[in-house]
Amino acid sequence: MSNTIWSVDEHLDDILAAVRPLEPIDLQLPDAQGCVLVEDVTVAMALPPFDNSSMDGYAVRVADVAGASEEFPAVLTVIGDVAAGSDALPTVGPGQAARIMTGAPLPPGAEAVVPVEWTDGGAGQGAATTMRPAGDAPEGASGQVRVHRAADARAHVRARGSDVQVGDLALRAGTVLGPPQIGLLAAIGRGTVKVRPRPRVVVLSTGSELIQPGEELREGQIYDSNSFALAAAARDAGAIAYRVGAVTDDAAVLRDTIEDQLIRADLLVTTGGVSVGAYDVVKEALSFSGDQDQPGSGVDFRKLKMQPGKPQGFGSIGPDHTPLLALPGNPVSSYVSFELFVRPAIRTLMGLDDVHRPTVRAVLKSGKALSSPADRRQFLRGRHDADAGTVSPVGGAGSHLIAALALADCLIVIPEETTSAEPDSEVDVILLG
Ligand SMILES: Nc1nc2c(c(=O)[nH]1)N[C@H]1C(S)=C(S)[C@@H](COP(=O)(O)OP(=O)(O)OC[C@H]3O[C@@H](n4cnc5c(N)ncnc54)[C@H](O)[C@@H]3O)O[C@H]1N2
Ligand code: MOO
């Protein structure tokens, strides 16, 4: 690690300059959720594909129901049922009606649909409120129906192409596929789409003191929480996350483990082992991992003007130059580092435009001034009140305070030049969503 101290922005710029969006692939629709579309999708079929009824009722000819009223109903002969999905359609002639269901194709000859509530439903009594089920009352598909109201041409008919027409642009390249977009693709019959895939992110924690939750702790041991938090954060950012449980503080074991993981990684994230201790093996294992013939490969370890999160590593590893971010081990440091550096990297790999968390200004509500180290950008945990436009600190600045982090919904940013943030002053707040 050199003695140069880098700014948060320089480090982030270096990361984002090195990370490229993943190559697009064809994915099945359910797997494409949250991904960025890389093709313009044009519509190969009209929606709706055919004229169809928007109501359960009777398909009629306009002239047959002209002037109809409850007192003087139009009496029509029911020639059959048209259910959604029907393909053999009866032709509706003068004086005839076909019973029709919502979504069913408008049969030839018919010009409008009258809802069942405008008729006697074929029962010969007053206005119907519902159709009788075809199974219980098959006679409903025949006999007579009394229509109590007139209908204009095309009433309750959803026209072919009234949603989209053949050749229309359904979705533009660059669209992020959320549920409605997935729905549209399915509606126009697309089973697969070309998108940038979710990055596969392997999260490794390091430290001989770490035990998996659920197991028994011995003296001096703690539970590995970082790999769980970071894998969850990676998933939350849009990645497919693989969590590798704690690797012991042995540089050779760590190198082997990382090399084994390369096969399934678009991005590697380690936590712990990056400071100046005698057992800080990530640095030891990765500092000299660059291929001499490959410019830009290898992992660079730096100190940043940042608290928490001062020691950081970034570079690439393996034959495919897989990007690797080495985060510090303190739980809050690793999480804050993830938010600032790994999340934007994941979102860049996904090809998203918007890679950063939203930042807002808020008035600091605190019983006392908050002290912050000189020449460090400090990220304190806070709770943001959007209605009041205020933010309050949660817990102290210590990078081991996991419980306070779990209560926070934002990070309060105290700039490098500020050593004391006064109550009621305005601060930047990163919303964690
Ligand atoms: N002499 C110095 N000591 C330290 C410096 C320094 O500049 N000079 N920097 C401090 C800062 S700042 C940080 S941050 C930490 C970073 O240390 P490492 O990245 O080497 O992390 P470790 O030493 O492995 O662990 C630190 C701390 O976090 C706990 N930890 C680690 N991994 C996990 C995990 N997966 N789950 C839960 N907790 C974890 C670990 O037990 C330690 O308590 O270095 C400072 N020291
Ligand atoms: O700068 Mo280290 O990340 O607290 O605590």
Rounded to the nearest angstrom, the distance between the alpha carbon of 308 and the centre of ligand 2 is 4
- Nearest-CA neighbor of 325 among 303, 347, 300, 305? 300
Q: What is the CATH number of domain 359-431?
A: 2.40.340.10
What DSSP letter does each residue of 365-415 carry, written as one string? --SSPEE--TT-EEEEEEEEETTTTEEEE-S-S-TT-HHHHHH-SEEEEE-
Q: Greater confidence, 245 or 96?
A: 96
- Cis peptide leading into residue 308 (ω within 30°): yes
What are the residue boundaries of the structural domains of the chain, listed by start?
A: 5-21+198-349, 27-47+169-196, 52-158, 359-431
Q: What is the pLDDT of residue 276?
A: 79
* Interatomic CA distance for residues 334 and 227, integer angstroms: 10
Q: What is the ipTM of this complex?
A: 0.98
Q: What is the pLDDT of residue 118?
A: 97
Ligand 2 atom nearest residue 336's Cα: 3
Query: pLDDT for 253-281, tens place per residue?
Result: 999 999 999 999 999 999 999 987 888 88
Q: 242 in helix, strand or coil?
A: strand
- Decide yes or no: CATH 2.40.400.10 for domain 27-47+169-196: no
Q: What is the CATH number of domain 52-158?
A: 2.170.190.11
Query: pLDDT for 143-181, tens place per residue?
Result: 999 999 999 999 999 999 999 999 999 999 999 999 999
The answer, yes or no, to whether residue 1 has pLDDT greater than 60, is: no
* Interatomic CA distance for residues 209 and 3, integer angstroms: 29
Q: Which residues contact ligand 1 via a Cβ below 6 A?
A: 205, 207, 209-210, 222, 224-227, 271-277, 280, 308, 310-311, 328-331, 333, 399
* Interatomic CA distance for residues 14 and 429, integer angstroms: 23
Helix (H) or strand (E) holding 228: helix 226-237
Rounded to the nearest angstrom, the distance between the alpha carbon of 272 and the centre of ligand 1 is 6
Looking at the CA of 399, which ligand is closest?
2
Rounded to the nearest angstrom, the distance between the alpha carbon of 253 and the centre of ligand 2 is 25
Superfamily in which the 5-21+198-349 domain is placed by CATH: MoaB/Mog-like domain (3.40.980.10)
Query: pLDDT for 288-333, tens place per residue?
Result: 655 544 555 689 999 999 999 999 999 999 999 999 999 999 999 9
